[in-house]
Structure 1
Amino acid sequence: MTKPVNSARGIAADVTAGRTSAVETAEAALARIEAAKALNAVVTIDPARTLADAARVDDRLCAGETMSLAGVPIVVKDNIWASGWRVTQGSRLFADFVAPQDAVAIERLRKAGAVIVGIGATSEFACKGVTTSQLYGPTRHPLDPALTPGGSSGGPAAAVAAGLVPLAIGTDAGGSSRRPPAHVGVAGFKPSYGAIPYGPGFAEPFFGLSVIAPIASDVADIALAFEAMAGADPRDPDSALFARQAEDIDGMRMAFSPRLGLDVAVDDIVANALASTVDRLSAAGLRITRRDPVWPTGATEDAIMPLQHAGLAALYGDAFRKEPTIFDPDVAKQIERGLSWSGAEVAGALVASAAIANAFAAFLTDVDLLLTPTVPCVAWSLTQLGPDMIGGKPASPRGHAVFTPFVNHARLPAISIPCGTDPRGLPFGLQIIARRGQDRTLLGAAHRIEAMLQAC
């Protein structure tokens, strides 16, 4: 797995100082993307547009402008609007759609000097835990082309892990920008709901859950991107201003929950590595206790999944009735299921979602940070929705996704950082969760924990 020539902050420093130009940096990124076409991480490029954007960054620097991401090449997930780019949601319904304007987050990244070099692959409507679509085919794991990087932000995560770009922008409604980074060995951050404005863009099937999520090789680059994108905007009524918080983790109360208080399977290699990681952090001086959240009766992903199915049915049910074969078969099953849910059943899923959020809030009243696995297993065959076995037990198609969705329903910030590999060298991650609005505290803590793990 080739690492980027430089970090996002290093590239920005070099471009700002004139040691290289935004155009030269963009040309190098485009060359790396071309050389890695078999990975299928970047599904759309537009070199003329990219180089014109890069030239404008160089002109702005010559005019004396200061930009935190000057010349940094980025990949944007194929469900986020970027003006003038083909953005399809991985769906044949939108095969020819060109975004009419930027999402606020992309507008802010451009203002900070970032240069879009390509659009990263997603599963259709970002609704699968693997990254494949009828429009583009499968995205492959950078360490083993027979494996999936997970989903739905598999393209952006693979692009960073393969060294094509130092920074990518995904979305996360149930773990889509934490699990793929964990599987490929990079960092992925799900901000608090509302911390980064969402849209303008496509109608969202994950009502009140999905967030814009930066992916990078390390926490410092993620924090740089977050600062460029964060803050309220009147175009998104759910966006909010969050006060700056202290970033010092000394004295913080931390809990480690090896299974998030759920009756779920975890591979031994992941469980043992996470326990060892927590022991090392405790030995380095962090205050970590073993403690599990207490969930309401019946709190499972199955209880909240009707919200995803009903959201898809509301948006695409009519198109499905007219031409069901235009959809990914796995997504078509979700739409069909959504059409069958009653109003009471969907309302029941909303009740379950609220109960999960309340339980998480109660747990975090006297705990500052919660540490859990990001994923219970390493990457699996790209021909399957999930691994056959996890922890020595038969696994459901969503068995790999158990540790991330509740965080979205509680609208909390969470980050995944690398914390180990299996004997084949396949990575997995440590998830760190904080209270809603404590994004900067979380990023500061993750940066320190990242440094501690690298030093051990």
Structure 2
Amino acid sequence: MTSPIRVAAVAEAVRGGRSSARAETLAALDRIAAGNPALNAFVTVDGNRALAEAETVDRRIAAGERLPLAGVPVAVKDTIWVAGRRVTQGSRLFADFHAPADAVAVERLRAAGAVILGMANSSEFACKGVTTNPLFGPTRHPQNPDLTPGGSSGGPAVAVAAGLVPLALGTDAGGSSRRPPAHVGAVGFKPSFGAIPYGPGFAEPFTGIAVMAPIAADVADAALMFEALCGPDPRDPDSVAIAAMDGRPPDCLTVACSPRFGLDAPVDDAVRQAVDGAVEALERAGVRIVRRDPTWPDGVTETALMPLQHAGLAALYGEAFRRDPALFDPDIAVQIERGLSLTGAEVAAAQLLGVEVARSLAGYFTGVDLLIGPTTPCVAWPLDRLGPETIGGQAVPPRAHAVFTPLFNHAKVPAISLPCGAGRDGLPVGLQLVAPRGLDHRLLRFAAFTETVLAAGGQGQLG
């Protein structure tokens, strides 16, 4: 894979006059032209519009503005509104849709000096754990084109991991911006629910848990993007202010290690070993680690919560599905059919279970400061499958690869995935760190420390 480009380095060079937003945009367009055909990370690129935006950024810098993301090229997931751009959700229903406005997060990216290069691939309606759709086909893993990066934010994750752009904006309603970065060796940060305003944009099948999610090559770059995007906005009634840095250094935190997050789920040996190695490195560096699983409500599984997504898809697209089922990805069609068959009581039961998940994890965090474990139980798998056939030597259903991320969406807490080693065939493994809701800065600070410890082979020390 191409060496990643650091956001801070680009912004500093543009602000300091050693480069320009136009030059960085031209370079990114060249990288996309060379690398994207084999990957299908970007589905639409508007070079003329991007260059016009870059020239505006250069004029703002010349006028004395100090922009935190000056000239940084960004990929935006093809589900997020970017004014005037074609945004499709990977669906034939929206093949000709052009967004009438920027999402607040995109508006803030522009205000910070970033340049939107284009739209990055997603599964249809962001409702599938691999990145393929009827309009644009599959996004391929940058280390092996026969593998999937997972989904649904596979396009943004691959765009960063392959070095096409230094930064991407994804979404996450069940792990969509943590699992793909874990599979390709990038960093994916799911903020607390409401920390980054959501919309204006498409109606969401899965309401009340989806977030905008920075994807970057390292924690510092993800944090830079988060700082530019966070904070309430009156257009999103769920948006909230989050706590400032609490001032507690990593050696004053109690970090719980949970190899399966308290769930009965198989994990590949190589993934377990990589995560165990990361935890041991943190212990050697002086972090106080305890072994403590979360306790979840009885009967909690991702399957028990999926009626919410299926019912949402049916409510939004059920009529279009009845008119012409062939318009839809067959895997999404199955979900819509399930949603159409659900009773109100079944949907309400799933909603109540999600509330209990949030309460359970909030109680758990009264005893520990952070939680650590695997992002996924496996590494990337073949492109033509919804999931691996086996994990940990056991036959598993197609969504078994996604087991460790969705509950943290329902709990509305921040979670981040960062690389922690390699599994089968040298494929990346992700380490997932989780914090109480609103303590995003605590999580980012500890994640940056963890990244440093792992880069140093576990020899770093707290100070």
* TM-score bracket, shorter-length normalisation: over 0.9
Give the structure 2 partner of residue 111 of structure 1: 111
Give the SS at the match of 1:155. helix
Equivalent AA in structure 1 for residue 16 of structure 2:
A
Q: Does 1:361 align with 2:362?
A: yes
Equivalent AA in structure 2 for residue 307 of structure 1:
L
Give the structure 1 partner of residue 391 of structure 2: 390
Q: Does 1:21 align with 2:29?
A: no
CA shift, 1:279, in A, is 1.1
Equivalent AA in structure 1 for residue 31 of structure 2:
R
Deviates more, 1:74-83 or 1:273-282: 273-282
Distance 1:172 1:211 in 2: 5
CA shift, 1:297, in A, is 1.1
Deviates more, 1:130-139 or 1:421-430: 421-430
Equivalent AA in structure 2 for residue 312 of structure 1:
L
Q: How many residues align?
A: 455
Give the SS at the match of 2:426. coil
Give the structure 1 partner of residue 69 of structure 2: 69
CA shift, 1:357, in A, is 1.0
Distance 1:313 1:423 in 2: 38
CA shift, 1:449, in A, is 0.8
Unaligned runs of 5+ in 2: 458-463
Equivalent AA in structure 1 for residue 32 of structure 2:
I
Give the SS at the match of 1:228. helix
Runs of 4+ in 1 over 4 A off after TM superposition: none
Equivalent AA in structure 1 for residue 9 of structure 2:
G
TM-score in terms of structure 2 length: 0.97
> After superposition, what is the alpha-carbon deviation per residue over 1:187-207, rounded to whole angstroms, capped at 9, x for unaligned?
000000000000000001111
Give the structure 1 partner of residue 10 of structure 2: 11
TM-score in terms of structure 1 length: 0.99
Equivalent AA in structure 1 for residue 94 of structure 2:
F
Give the SS at the match of 1:133. coil
Deviates more, 1:45-54 or 1:274-283: 274-283
- Contact 2:171–2:213 (Cα < 8 Å) also in 1: yes
- Contact 2:310–2:338 (Cα < 8 Å) also in 1: yes
Unaligned runs of 5+ in 1: none
> After superposition, what is the alpha-carbon deviation per residue over 1:269-318, rounded to whole angstroms, capped at 9, x for unaligned?
01122112111111110000111011111011111000000000010011
Give the SS at the match of 1:132. coil
Give the structure 2 partner of residue 351 of structure 1: 352
CA shift, 1:432, in A, is 0.2
1:23-62 matched pairs, under 5 angstroms? 23-36=22-35, 37-62=37-62
CA shift, 1:121, in A, is 0.2
Equivalent AA in structure 1 for residue 330 of structure 2:
P
Distance 1:98 1:9 in 2: 31
1:201-220 matched pairs, under 5 angstroms? 201-220=201-220
Give the SS at the match of 1:398. helix
Equivalent AA in structure 2 for residue 97 of structure 1:
F
Equivalent AA in structure 1 for residue 209 of structure 2:
L
Distance 1:128 1:243 in 2: 33
- Contact 2:371–2:433 (Cα < 8 Å) also in 1: yes
- Contact 2:243–2:440 (Cα < 8 Å) also in 1: no
Distance 1:275 1:47 in 2: 44
Distance 1:31 1:315 in 2: 39
Distance 2:334 2:367 in 1: 41
Give the SS at the match of 1:75. strand
Note the aligned Cα RMSD (angstroms): 0.7
> After superposition, what is the alpha-carbon deviation per residue over 1:122-158, rounded to whole angstroms, capped at 9, x for unaligned?
0000000000001000000000000000000000000
The percent of aligned pairs where both chains have the same amino acid is: 63
1:309-348 matched pairs, under 5 angstroms? 309-348=310-349
CA shift, 1:423, in A, is 4.5
Give the SS at the match of 1:80. coil
- Contact 2:167–2:214 (Cα < 8 Å) also in 1: yes
